[in-house]
Amino acid sequence: MVQRNRRAIVCLLCRHMRRRHDADCEFGQYFSANRNADFQIVIHILGLSRLIRIMRAIEPPQRQAVANSLLTEGEVWRINPDRGFLGHQLELGAQLNTSLDELDIARKLLAFCIDNANSNNAPSSMPPSTQIPDLNLDLWGTEHMNDMDITEEDMQGIPCTREKGESSNASKGMVADEKEKGILNEQGATSDEDEDRI
């Protein structure tokens, strides 16, 4: 019978230092083998000597929390290599601010609905358009507008958003004659309205 050479599960620190894992390893219990990718990033960011120095400076009851924190930072750097932990923190802060804005809008809307329900019995002297609270319902913000190429016509209410790189001189499916007919029809409609007023 052929016996296979099975490697014992070693701690990542011993594997990185290329030494045999034994009972004398003081950090073997903190860096498990299933988080190898995160550990490699931590080694890349901090370096092996700084990692060992950090772990030795911490009291033994707190070492597991520090190891988990370092591995979590490695995981964040693996997920977001451009901005790292700061980018992750800023992303979470932006999500929190968006959620707080949505909560504020929901509270204002709830207060408006409660006031409207309470005032159904009493007639209001204000027109209905002034009773609606001014809510900032722009939950997307302007940062999502950068993904599209937006022209001045969009700001005037005419939908003409196009993907980047698409020609801006003619819309697809319409020829110049059809466009001129549409313009003439619009001008004709305005001249008919002017004649009715006279």
Residue 56 clears pLDDT 90, i.e. is over it: no
Region of poorest pLDDT, from 7-16, 30-39, 101-110, 173-182: 173-182
**Which tens digits make up the pLDDT trace of 142-158?**
454 444 454 444 444 44
pLDDT of 111: 93
**Residue 126 forms part of a structural domain:** no
**Residue 67 forms part of a structural domain:** yes
38 in the same domain as 72: yes
Name the pLDDT band for 163 (thresholds 50, 70, 90): very low
**Residue 94 forms part of a structural domain:** yes
90 in the same domain as 109: yes
42 in the same domain as 27: yes
pLDDT of 42: 83
Number of separate domains in the chain: 2
72 in the same domain as 16: yes
Considering only residues 152 and 24, tell me which one the structure prediction assigns the higher pLDDT: 24
Please state the rounded mean pLDDT for residues 99-109.
Answer: 96
Please state the rounded mean pLDDT for residues 18-38.
Answer: 72
101 in the same domain as 69: no
Q: How many residues are there in the chain?
A: 198
Contact by Cβ (8 Å): 74, 66 = no
What pTM was estimated for this model as a whole?
A: 0.42
pLDDT of 109: 95
**Residue 75 forms part of a structural domain:** yes
- Answer with the one of 61, 94, 116 that is the final residue of a domain: 116
- Answer with the one of 79, 103, 125 that is the final residue of a domain: 79
Considering only residues 113 and 51, tell me which one the structure prediction assigns the higher pLDDT: 113
88 in the same domain as 60: no
Burial of 77 (0-12, 13-18, 19+ CB in 10 A): buried
Domain of residue 53: give its range.
12-79
Considering only residues 11 and 165, tell me which one the structure prediction assigns the higher pLDDT: 11
Q: Quick one: tokens of 110? A: 């709830």
